[in-house]
Structure 1
């Protein structure tokens, strides 16, 4: 109604104010001429019959604006004045208004929202180009595309794959739906070692020309080059007539190698064969193609199962390369955790296992290994604490429990065995210590500590030749090992001591026997071998003399100390650079220092010599005119003849 009133008001404003109301109503149209010339005189427009007009005469009014003067045209309407809405009866007016409203409502949505503007056939405010019709090359453009293809073929035959790809690109730009062009470009991509691009093209080519044998063969070759042999064989199975054995051979060889690697690893047999099979599979990969992730994980698993320092290091390298690609890779973290655990670094392993479970709480291998590492670390630490408290028997028992947690962890178990061997040595159970060290070296042949502990155990059991052999093995394999040269000299000296008369053995007492035990043993042996009761002749007499000599040496604390230190084995020529004594003068006649009872030459460590001379019974030598054990009682004494004290 408002719209009608507005229109009527405009018409009324444009009527002449002094028109006679008795005259018929007129309709007019006012228009401005676009010309800048002088205005034309107004002319009357011919009257229109209501029957010939689709709209009432008041809709014929039009107005245009220009820089020129305004011209008005008036035409009288010959229609019945009752056709004007304001002259209609109220019922008819309401009927027409209702009809107009209903017509307008039909154009609205159910949500009463005005339809969006349509511009260029697209809804919205932005102008967009209409969707073009499907591309259909003309005869001329098809010929041009073929010329690009032929040029690409020539470059391909010449081995210039980059230029071939460029020419095929031009052909495909003209006709993107040509399976031949796409297949040719796939071949060029494959020859240029761009296998992923080749795969995309050949798949699109197959969509356009399904089951084309040439395309399928090319597709299978690309898949094999990417390390996807099963998919390649699936594609070849669609070829008709069936693909030849020669065509299938590369994919079958690759698949067979990978399958054998998986089966061998699962059965835990011939782990080195896994690595060999994977190497065979890699030979079928395209140049510069990265091996499938599945193969990488198989290789890491095989290296871990080889379980030697070199293979564990390779497994670490694989894990690190995977983590560079994805720092949140739980599989790579698991590999690294297992490597640390195999190297005995439980703390690092625990840290990585917890990170794994943070990324994948349901990762069963990580859960299982975490429990093992925690139990092993706890039991081992309890054994260490017992050892520090000198509760060696409890330490041995706890370490025995730790060895049962994971028998497959060679490195960790070797360390535990080495620790337990040291506890056995402290309990003087040398044979058990030797056995543990030997087992530790079987698990870890390069375990230096186990070799040194075994040498020590051999020495404790008076197996000095074996001790020297172990020490020299350490020196040969680890030239920089601290203190090993001194250990060898000491063991050689102990060997010399063991080859002389063993006074302790003659009396049948231990090296830590007390004076009372020595006296008791002497009485027993003296009665047994006394000449009055001896029936063995000269042999019995010799035995009786040995018993007396042993008793005389061991019952005297100074002589016993000198004997224990091996002073009687010292060669003066070694002590003083092979000289024959101090020849008189200020050092008082150590001339000759002869013989020392016929002792053979030995290499004497300077520290041992110093201890012997300064605190272990220095003083004169029998051949130089002094008591060989006299120095100690005088607080270090000197050589006879006024020599300087040591």
Structure 2
């Protein structure tokens, strides 16, 4: 019987489901062989049946420590390990069972199954054959025969898959390996070979999945982490590349390939992060320089050059450098026609350059691939308004200034044109009338573009001087004989400013 002191008994009475154990060295538990091992085995068996695996495992640890020659203690512990999904831990226990009791066919059959899953086919077949030679239950014999047949088939597929791979038939080799891995789920070699097939076929997502599995199946698998890092790097994912190469260096700080790759990725990652910080600070010129440095750091991987140009495109558009922005954005779109960010950047630059039809076209293309993007929706509406407006009267074009022109530039352009188109400079009646119309347009343009509120309305697609505009009611027009026939608030293009005009028609 297991001897339990009064304190431990009291705890058990009040907390019946809590097992207070510290292996066999727990207070009140003796590690003798007078029945305590059997009690641990029995208790562990009950806990295992109840699904309390961790507690059951503690009892089986105690039983193994209490009697290292008790094959049943190892077998029960292996059973818990298998239930917990810890096959690596179960395998040594099953081997110990077979060492202590070679005719224990259930343990041998289970070990054969684990070896088969690990791809250790020769060892698995040896176990299955020994089960068949013994006098097991018909159930064990049938299972061993079935698994032996499966192992023979896998042996054949392994040879065939390697041959297909060697002759460059990666599709067929991958298909063969799929079948192998369905049974040999923990076979590292098969997964590594299938990874190479996926890499050759350009199926990087599948290659990554297999590499992640092999990094867990094989201890200290620096090669898997190195390959994962290089694959992510080639895909343009510098952050994941950095994460995986760090895992390699944790296992082996002196790993030459990983350390060399780490320095490259870390440098690139730092440059990209710095560039993005500059963009957040709206320091677009500095961000452009930083992304140009990114392209010099990694000129051979297209993804980084493409990403750098995409961000440069954005910076130039935000910095009102329309001509350069259009050029860089177009380079990105030549390689990646569906790049939404490049389409948005070029569309903004087209608006700045007053190429509204092109801006509408780019925003519409971007909308196809980014339907829920608010910026695209607003940008398209703006480009459509400006296009419609440009087909009517464009005050910027009338004065010959850019949309980004400052007030001083606008006034300077106005004065120059007003002197040029002063009606008194013309003598024929038709010429004078034409000059009057031109002069009124010039005056209206100056009036709108030097008034912040009216200019804002015009930039949003309204014409503050348009009598047809719903927002433009109450306009009055000044003629040249005195009186007002519809131009806003008594606006008189000839009664203010540096010019004082007097028109004669005779």
| Bin of the TM-score, shorter chain as denominator length | 0.5 to 0.7
Q: Does 2:379 align with 1:487?
A: yes
Q: Which residue of 2 aligns with 1:376?
A: 268
User: Which residue of the other structure, out of 192, 196, 212, is the alignment partner of 2:149?
Assistant: 192
For the pair 1:437 / 2:329, whether they are aligned, the reply is yes
Deviations 1:361-401 (A, max 9, x none): 45443223212111112222333344455543332222101
Distance 1:393 1:566 in 2: 30
Tell me how far apart the structure 1 counterparts of residues 275 and 463 of structure 2 sit (CA, whole Å). 43
In 2, Cα distance between equivalents of 1:530 and 1:485: 43
Alpha-carbon shift at residue 493 of structure 1 (Å):
0.9
Equivalent pairs, count? 347
Cα distance change, pair 565–279 in 1 and its aligned pair in 2 (3 A): closer
Distance 1:401 1:190, change over 3 A: same
Separation in structure 2 between the aligned mates of residue 628 and residue 542 of structure 1, nearest angstrom: 19
C-alpha deviation, 1:457, in angstroms: 1.8
Q: Summarize deviations over 1:147-182 as a string: whole Å, max 9, x none.
A: xxxxxxxxxxxxxxxxxx9998799569xxxxxxxx
For the 8 Å contact 1:554–1:560, the answer to whether it is kept is no
Q: 2:229 aligned with 1:337, yes or no?
A: yes
Please say which structure displays the higher CA radius of gyration. Answer: 1
Alpha-carbon deviation of 1:498? 1.9
Q: How does 1:145-294 map to 2 (within 5 A)?
A: 192-195=149-152, 223-225=155-157, 227-228=158-159, 251=160, 254=161, 257-261=164-168, 275-276=170-171, 278-279=173-174, 282=177, 288=183, 292-294=190-192
- Change in Cα spacing, 1:568 to 1:287, as seen in structure 2 (3 Å) is closer
Residue 197 of structure 2 corresponds to residue 302 of structure 1: no
**Per-residue deviation at 1:287?**
8.0
- The verdict on how the C-alpha distance between 1:330 and 1:459 changes in structure 2, with shifts beyond 3 A counting, is same
SS of 2:463 mapped into structure 1: helix
Deviation at 1:458, TM superposition (A): 1.9
Root mean square deviation of aligned Cα: 4.5
Relative to 1, partners in 2 of residues 1:399 and 1:222: Cα closer, same or farther, differing over 3 Å?
closer
- 5+ long unaligned stretches in structure 2: 1-125, 136-141, 478-483, 492-506
Equivalent position SS for 1:511: coil
SS state of the match for residue 401, structure 2? coil
Kindly provide the CA deviation profile for residues 571-621 of structure 1, in whole angstroms up to 9, marking residues without a partner as x: xxxxxxxxxxxxxxxxxxxxxxxxx6568xxxxxxxxx9xxx6xxxx7646
Q: In structure 1, the residue corresponding to 2:150 is in which secondary structure? A: coil
Q: 1:514 to 1:442 in 2, by over 3 A?
A: closer
Distance 1:351 1:169, change over 3 A: closer
2:360 equivalent in structure 1: 468
**1:395 maps to 2:327:** no
- The one of 304, 307, 311 equivalent to 1:419 is 311
Matched, 1:366 2:264: no
Structure 1 unaligned blocks of 5 or more: 1-164, 175-184, 196-220, 229-250, 262-273, 571-595, 600-608, 633-646
Distance 1:536 1:371 in 2: 79
Aligned to 2:403: 511
Q: 1:630 to 1:351 in 2, by over 3 A?
A: same
Q: How far apart are the structure 1 equivalents of 2:270 and 2:127?
A: 66
Higher relative contact order structure (alpha carbons within 8 Å, sequence separation ≥ 6): 2
The separation in 2 between residues aligned to 1:453 and 1:529, in whole angstroms, is: 39
Work out whether 1:566 is the aligned partner of 2:498: no
TM-score (norm. length: structure 1): 0.45
Residues 562 and 629, structure 1, Cα contact 8 Å, conserved in 2: no
Give the 3 Å change call, closer, same or farther, for CA 491–275 of structure 1 in structure 2: farther
